[in-house]
């Protein structure tokens, strides 16, 4: 049996995403073969395509951090899971394919009846949002938080989860995303026409209890200035290395932002204002505490099933149109999550 997948053979722009057809992978001992129903499209995918993400695989590789699919074949030694079971996974790479083989330990059961596009939004975006709020910043009801990129996939997830947690929320966004931020309970701050540091202090007085910064670089220090004394900046990305979805500097160095992270983290502890900077990495927390990932994803899937959260889907693209999805994401201003849908997935409905 043959299948389609997307590969990157050279680092660069969306044009480097190529569609290939080849034999389906066979599950090895302890693996299951999953027929992908929906794969998420995210900024880490773009950074990998450009060759600047710390997790970038060797060329050639298939992008795709997150997926939801149906178990199609069991490898030797696999038990406790049935063909047809809907599962979710965070493979970090490889999800842009019709079929993927994964260790059984990596897949998390998905309740029946959920939309695959909405469910896949939880795997990277909502877990990132949830863990940064509750495991890194340890927010409490009534606290004030500033969310950068509040109209994006992770930003809208954080607004929904923050509303459930009883937070007072402020979010930087473009003028296009302001209405979405307001509808999800946040106060929009137009980063293109307003100074977010000045604005957050004008709106709150002291500043925010927590700031969530996926931009990185020197932006981290400005986020720190938006804190009240004793507050925390949680840093989780380096999108400052991109411009229009392309490598901004022209220099490909996948660890280029790590030293400045270290300086800001140290400065947050040493300087007298008690404004901390802490890093967050979904993949490292998953490696160090895999039970957290499974527990948090299971809880989020229950919230989705109970209709307490509703992921915003910015667009659904056939797998073969991954390039167009990357182009759209690179243009900026996308509200919610972009999703790739594989053939025969009932438009991402989550049915086997």
Q: What is the pLDDT of residues 85-117, one digit of tens each?
A: 999 999 999 999 999 999 999 999 999 999 999
Say whether both 268 and 144 belong to one domain.
yes
Number of domains in the chain: 2
Distance from chain centroid for Cα 30:
27
Listed range (44-58, 122-136, 146-160, 269-283) with the worst mean pLDDT: 269-283
Say whether both 87 and 67 belong to one domain.
yes
Say whether both 236 and 315 belong to one domain.
no
Say whether both 271 and 142 belong to one domain.
yes
Say whether both 254 and 294 belong to one domain.
no
Q: Yes or no: say if 31 and 272 are a contact pair by the CB < 8 Å rule.
A: no
Q: What is the pTM of this model?
A: 0.91
Say whether both 189 and 206 belong to one domain.
yes
Say whether both 237 and 218 belong to one domain.
yes
CA angle at 78 for the pair 343 and 27, rounded to the nearest 5°: 45
Please determine, for residue 152, whether its predicted confidence score (pLDDT) is greater than 90.
yes
**Mean pLDDT across 189-196:** 96
- How high is the mean pLDDT of the chain? 91
Q: What are the structure tokens assigned to 173, written together?
A: 């966004």
Say whether both 235 and 299 belong to one domain.
no
Map tokens 């700031």 to a residue.
211
**Mean pLDDT across 310-331:** 97
CATH label of the domain that carries residue 268: 3.40.50.720
Q: Which of 280, 299, 319 is the last residue of a domain?
A: 280
Nearest alpha carbon to residue 126 among 54, 40, 64 = 40
Listed range (43-52, 119-128, 175-184, 259-268) with the worst mean pLDDT: 259-268
Q: Yes or no: say if 226 and 206 are a contact pair by the CB < 8 Å rule.
A: no
**Mean pLDDT across 313-322:** 98
Residue 349 lies in a domain: no
pLDDT category of residue 321 using cuts at 50, 70 and 90: very high
Which residue range(s) make up the domain with 101?
2-121+285-341
Residue 149 lies in a domain: yes
Q: Which of 280, 307, 331 is the last residue of a domain?
A: 280
Say whether both 17 and 117 belong to one domain.
yes
Say whether both 155 and 275 belong to one domain.
yes
Listed range (29-33, 96-100, 238-242) with the worst mean pLDDT: 238-242
pLDDT category of residue 351 using cuts at 50, 70 and 90: very low
Helix/strand/coil for 261: helix
Beta strands 227-235 and 208-213, pairing class: parallel
Give the other-Cβ count within 10 Å of 249's Cβ: 12
Say whether both 117 and 175 belong to one domain.
no
CATH label of the domain that carries residue 18: 3.90.180.10
- Comparing 258 with 44, which gets the higher pLDDT? 44
Say whether both 305 and 244 belong to one domain.
no
Q: Which long-range contacts (CB under 8 A, 24 or more apart) does 265-271 make?
A: 268/224, 268/233
Q: Yes or no: say if 67 and 123 are a contact pair by the CB < 8 Å rule.
A: yes
Rounded to whole angstroms, how far apart are CA atoms 224 and 209?
A: 10
């Amino acid at each position: 049996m043959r299948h389609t997948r997307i590969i990157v053979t050279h680092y660069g722009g969306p044009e480097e995403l190529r569609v290939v057809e080849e034999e389906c992978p066979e599950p090895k001992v302890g693996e299951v073969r999953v027929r992908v129903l929906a794969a998420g499209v995210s900024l880490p995918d773009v950074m990998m395509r450009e060759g600047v993400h710390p997790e970038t695989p060797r060329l050639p590789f298939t992008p795709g951090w997150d997926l939801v699919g149906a178990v199609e074949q069991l490898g030797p030694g696999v038990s406790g899971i049935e063909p047809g079971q809907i599962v979710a996974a965070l493979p970090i790479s490889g999800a842009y394919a019709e079929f993927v083989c994964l260790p059984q330990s990596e897949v998390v059961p998905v309740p029946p009846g959920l939309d695959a596009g909405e469910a896949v939004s939880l795997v990277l975006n909502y877990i990132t949002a949830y863990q940064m709020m509750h495991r890194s910043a340890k927010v409490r009801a009534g606290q004030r938080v500033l969310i950068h990129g509040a109209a994006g996939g992770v930003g809208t997830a954080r607004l929904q989860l923050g509303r459930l947690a009883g937070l007072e929320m402020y979010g930087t966004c473009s003028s296009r995303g302001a209405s979405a931020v307001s509808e999800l309970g946040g106060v929009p701050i137009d980063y293109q026409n307003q100074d977010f540091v000045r604005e957050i202090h004008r709106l709150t007085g002291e500043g925010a209890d927590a700031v969530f910064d996926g931009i990185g670089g020197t932006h981290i220090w400005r986020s720190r200035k938006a804190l009240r004394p004793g507050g925390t900046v949680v840093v989780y990305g380096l999108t400052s290395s991109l411009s229009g979805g392309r490598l901004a500097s022209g220099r490909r160095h996948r660890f280029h932002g790590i030293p400045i992270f270290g300086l800001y983290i140290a400065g947050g502890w040493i300087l007298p204002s008690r404004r901390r900077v802490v890093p967050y990495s979904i993949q490292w927390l998953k490696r160090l505490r895999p039970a957290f990932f499974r527990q948090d994803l299971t809880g989020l899937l229950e919230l989705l099933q109970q209709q307490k959260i509703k992921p915003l889907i910015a667009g659904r693209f056939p797998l073969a149109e991954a390039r167009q999805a990357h182009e759209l994401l690179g243009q900026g201003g996308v509200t919610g999550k972009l999703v790739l849908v594989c053939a025969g997935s009932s438009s991402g409905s989550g049915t086997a």
